[in-house]
Structure 1
């Protein structure tokens, strides 16, 4: 697999990532017993699987309905979103999540500055959190991986993050992340793509073998 990263924003990319993950994740979740939704997640301390899904569905519906009041996506807002859905059935949470993953892509594409593209990437990462908690394969990988890596490369570049040359086990061509700088030699990562995603999103590498030179894991974390 080759990770192609366009210098020019592809507005359809977030929607494609959401659609691919929707088609894979929702049938999996609908097949799980209610008890699984109460499992605690390692990636999001204090949140259960259901809490993560409620957070995801709320965020996407906020995008669909263009509701971005002051403090949206703050820790306090996230907790309120989860609390607002406390009386919902798990099926209702999944229905809202499916709607969000279906409709948010078009709205995100309409933001010509790409400011909301990171929301789609974050939703895909949270889907990986859920998969990891449930012991399902495909956490931070799966069919959405090429789209997610392309988004990650562009997001890190647009945010002026440290330049990183990533040699990924599953990808034919090196992935260039971050922005070029004349003052610092680019860092280098060697390992699998799931571990790269974990490092960039503040998740523990989970015992995976990798090499990172010229930077620390803390410097890569987008959310740190």
Structure 2
């Protein structure tokens, strides 16, 4: 796995869309093959089942596609309303909507100039939540991982997040995340890519093998 694109300072507006479609091609067939009982499994998101996560994801993407960004959009209250509005739909109807959103949202995200890039990364993380609930191996990894890492680097820099130098397993070169460190040396991470993404999304890392110095785990969370 190379990191040339990760080190490039130019924003790639098509990157979020590529991540969404790559994940669509893996996640949607998985969902269509699962029985309805699996949609009731609990996820890493407190209080949310697989169905809740998918309803939230499909709603968020359709909001992007349809440019519906009223006050309080993507707040916990808004998310709960979006999920409740889909309570009468079948699991497969929610999957249908999710497939449409993952197909169409990339163009809208590209036109937004970067402000919606986090939606694509959040969708990829939630796909990991679903895979983990299903007991799938490599829940926060897979074919979309290089794109997710590239987007993580971009978003962490754009948001001026804590500076981190990450020596990630199987990468040819370190990842440089967050703002320029200035006078203070950057925090350091050594470990797997999947664990790194768990840390940046506030997911549990119990039992994972990694090293983190110069920053607390909670400080890395981009979505908390």
Q: Secondary structure at the match of 1:176?
A: strand
Structure 1 residues not aligned, in runs of 5+: none
Name structure 2 gaps, 5 residues minimum.
none
Give the equivalent residue in structure 1 for 2:81.
Answer: 80
Q: Deviations over 1:55-108 (max 9, x none)?
A: 000000000000000111000000000000001000100000000000000110
Matches of residues 173-184 of structure 1 in structure 2 within 5 Å? 173-184=173-184
The question of 1:30 aligning with 2:32 is answered: yes
Distance 1:91 1:206 in 2: 33
Residue 32 of structure 1: how far off its partner (Å): 0.3
Which residue matches 2:107?
A: 106
CA distance in 2, matches of 1:53, 1:22: 12
| Count of matched residue pairs | 222
- In the TM superposition, residue 174 of structure 1 has moved relative to its aligned partner by 0.6
Alignment-derived partner of residue 185 in structure 2:
185
Structure-to-structure mapping, 1:18-57, within 5 angstroms: 18-41=20-43, 43-57=44-58
CA distance in 1 between counterparts of 2:170 and 2:60 reads 31
Corresponding residue of 1:130: 130
Write the mapping of 1:1-224 to structure 2, written as runs, cut at 5 A: 1-3=1-3, 4-5=5-6, 6-41=8-43, 43-112=44-113, 114-224=114-224
CA distance in 1 between partners of 2:52 and 2:176 (Å): 34
Question: What is the TM-score of this pair, normalised by structure 1?
Answer: 0.97
Q: Give the TM-score taking structure 2 as reference length.
A: 0.97
